[in-house]
Amino acid sequence: MTEEPTSKDESSADVAGQEIDEGEERAKQHLLGQLFAALTARWRDSESHLNIGVRQHDLLEALHTNRDGLDQLFNLLRQQIAPLGLELVEYRLGRETRYCLRTLYGVPSELTNPEYAVLGVIIAAVENAGTRRRARKTTMKELDAALVTRGRLSRYQLDRILRRLADLGYIVRSTNRIAYGPRTELEFDAERRKAIAGVAATYLVGTTSAKDSDDGES
């Protein structure tokens, strides 16, 4: 007689425990969903620069947690997004640490073929300029010599493509110089950039631009 109520108590406690667990699990999944959406978002700051992903500082504030809690949450997220072919990327921009998601496999990209070609030329120029005095940058002159004077693109097309690449965060343009934007370094790691520079060497090789233009006119 005395055992029955105890078993009832235990079962009710188990049920309550299960409900709590389910509630926690649901809340965690909800949180992971929100985190996923935040990591795949992009926004522009007041200077119209494209910002990719979320800042670590913002995440810590929004989640009311510390670095360890955030790491645990990221580990959970990594387990869940790995089967989708996605990976979590941590990168630094200025003094801030940011997070975003990247695919391991091919996905439809935002860039068109000419835009990829121009980006490839920029990557090749910047990688080859690594040992020179002004490293990590290229000039409009070099792009002109490779693309415009050889008749591969018009000046207007090149300008439009460069504007779009800057708009999408692939490059950063100053007065006459072009440097990598954060997105180029995220999407093309150092090894791939070197490989592109190697391939570009065979594509960009050829006679001088003046000779080409003369041939074309004649």
d(CA 148, CA 167) in angstroms, rounded, equals 21
- The pair of structure tokens assigned to 44 is 């522009």
Residue 197 is a binding residue for another protein (CB under 8 A): no
Which one, 65 or 149, has the nearer CB to another protein?
149
Residue 113 is a binding residue for another protein (CB under 8 A): yes
Pick one of 175, 176, 202, 218: the residue that binds another protein (CB under 8 A): 202
Pick one of 101, 129, 140, 172: the residue that binds another protein (CB under 8 A): 101
Name the nearest CA neighbour of 179 among 215, 217, 143, 218: 143
Q: Yes or no: say if 174 and 91 are a contact pair by the CB < 8 Å rule.
A: no
Residue 40 CB coordination number (10 Å): 14
Q: Yes or no: say if 9 and 3 are a contact pair by the CB < 8 Å rule.
A: no
Q: Which range binds another protein by CB under 8 A, 1-9, 16-24, 55-63, 107-115?
A: 107-115
Residue 210 is a binding residue for another protein (CB under 8 A): no
Residue 214 is a binding residue for another protein (CB under 8 A): no
Residue 116 is a binding residue for another protein (CB under 8 A): yes
Q: Yes or no: say if 206 and 162 are a contact pair by the CB < 8 Å rule.
A: no
Which one, 26 or 211, has the nearer CB to another protein?
211
Residue 69 is a binding residue for another protein (CB under 8 A): no
Q: Yes or no: say if 49 and 4 are a contact pair by the CB < 8 Å rule.
A: no
Which one, 1 or 205, has the nearer CB to another protein?
205
